[in-house]
Amino acid sequence: EDQVTQSPEALRLQEGESSSLNCSYTVSGLRGLFWYRQDPGKGPEFLFTLYSAGEEKEKERLKATLTKKESFLHITAPKPEDSATYLCAVRPSGGYQKVTFGTGTKLQVIP
């Protein structure tokens, strides 16, 4: 069974204090790894898809990287508006479309 574990569960940063979120995964052949951002009471917002080890993607202050066992979401000089829960998800290879989500990291950025 596919598993996604995210750490830490919660992270509190000062504005401008860079850090990284971790996503460890176990899947029978990775077809894609996704990062989403979710604000309270809202649906998740798509950030990135990573397809293979060594791949990196960037968007504003966020950079996602992928290895064969884990992914990192690096947040550089965060701002209060970056506060949200960040969800990692995996899609296995093969025809089955099921995406499995991790429990997320709740990020709070203090001004």
Partner 1 sequence: DTEVTQTPKHLVMGMTNKKSLKCEQHMGHRAMYWYKQKAKKPPELMFVYSYEKLSINESVPSRFSPECPNSSLLNLHLHALQPEDSALYLCASSPRDSLYGYTFGSGTRLTVV
Write the single-letter amino acid at 97: Q
Residue 73 structure tokens: 């979401």
Among 13-21, 26-34, 53-61, 70-78, which window interacts with partner 1 (CB under 8 A)?
26-34
Pick left, alpha or beta for residue 72 (phi over 0 → left; psi -120 to 50 → alpha; otherwise beta): beta
Residue 34 structure tokens: 């996704």
Shortest spacing between CB 15 and partner 1, in angstroms? 25
Binders of partner 1: how many residues, by CB under 8 A?
22
99 touching partner 1, by CB under 8 A: yes
Q: Cα(105)–Cα(108) distance, rounded to whole angstroms? A: 10
78 touching partner 1, by CB under 8 A: no
98 touching partner 1, by CB under 8 A: yes
37 touching partner 1, by CB under 8 A: no
Task: Please choose, from the candidates 111, 105, 81, the residue with its C-alpha nearest in 3D space to the C-alpha of residue 19.
Answer: 105
Which residues would be at the binding site for partner 1 (CB under 8 A)? 31-32, 34, 36, 41-46, 49, 87, 89, 91, 96-99, 101-104
